[in-house]
Amino acid sequence: MTPPKEGFRSGFVALIGRPNTGKSTLVNAFVGRKVAIVSDKPQTTRRGVRAVLSTDDHQIVFTDTPGFHKPRTLLGSRLNDLVGEATQGVDAVVQVVDAHAGVGRGDVFVFERQLRDFAGPKICAVNKLDALRNREEVPQLQKAAALGDWDEVVPVSAKTGRGVAVLLDLLVDLLPEGPAYYPADTVTDQPLEDRLAEIVREKALAVTRQEVPHSIAVVVEELEDSDTLTKIHASLIVERDSQKGIVIGKGGETLKAIGSRARQEIERVLGHQVFLDLHVKVLKEWQRDPKALQRLGF
């Protein structure tokens, strides 16, 4: 931990919300680069991803959380537990709501279960305003304001950047003076294997059909990392043989597309050539199996 300089502010901020409100996109917008994977599928985020923003005057550690929801599987329950853990001991919490889908009962559920008893600053980020017409904004902002006792309600578009700087300035002002918790060049504390696995899963979510995404997990089985070539052997885990066929695709075309997209992004992240070897495995009903969840790191 770096000793604080006079006036330096630092702290931890958790982002919470129902599924698919744009929390990960907002975290990436805060730090100015992609740290959390993004897709239009609910429950894309499955781990508490920390992203670090450092400047000469402050350091904010953001925690991106899974969408809080009424769980239907053991995995869903454990993801909800992650949200609760993420809000403990932080300096501020931002609840992200989706103005395009409409602020509603799901957002009330999140506030009541996760934020009502939080003693620190609470901010509501009303996201996806880029998808609304001007006259549609005010009703959504009013509904967001009525959700709870907020310190601020901030209209934003994580996609276009609108309002992100305003929200960031508000958060900095709420932070206490303190030390930098991470070196200035740190952007995330995710282990490399987790980052690589998440990139592969993001591409699988983008390529596969609607019935598969929730059932996909990715595990990096072997990693050989060097300055010029990284070799990655990873497995895509699904729950049924029919899903395995979908992920592989006719003649292996779907799996090839996933691998090609993932390899290109991983090469951008690592800055050198990547050899990516993907296989698909079936782990029956893994989302409901405690032993399987433990094996997969949940």
34-61 pLDDT, tens digit per residue, is 887 676 665 566 566 789 999 999 999 9
Q: What is the CATH number of domain 9-174?
A: 3.40.50.300
| Mean pLDDT score across all residues of the chain | 89
- For 181-216, write each residue's pLDDT tens digit: 999 999 998 888 989 999 999 999 888 866 676 788
Q: What is the pLDDT of residue 15?
A: 94
Average pLDDT over residues 270-274: 93
Q: What is the pLDDT of residue 40?
A: 66
pLDDT of 279 strictly over 80? yes
Coil/strand/helix, residue 7: coil
How, if at all, do strands 49-54 and 58-64 pair? antiparallel
Coil/strand/helix, residue 114: helix
CATH superfamily of 192-295: K homology (KH) domain (3.30.300.20)
Q: What is the C-alpha to C-alpha distance for residues 85 and 82, in angstroms, rounded to an integer? A: 5
The 8-class DSSP code of residue 292 comes to H
pLDDT of 29 strictly over 90? yes
Query: Please, where are the H alpha helices in 1-131?
Result: 23-31, 74-86, 105-110
* C-alpha triplet 164, 264, 269: angle, nearest 5°: 50
**Residue-range domain boundaries for the chain:** 9-174, 192-295
pLDDT of 115 strictly over 70? yes
Q: How confident is the model at residue 70 (pLDDT cuts 50, 70, 90)?
A: confident
Task: Answer whether 91's CB lies under 8 Å from 61's CB.
Answer: no
- For 121-176, write each residue's pLDDT tens digit: 999 999 999 988 878 899 999 999 999 999 999 999 999 999 999 999 999 999 99
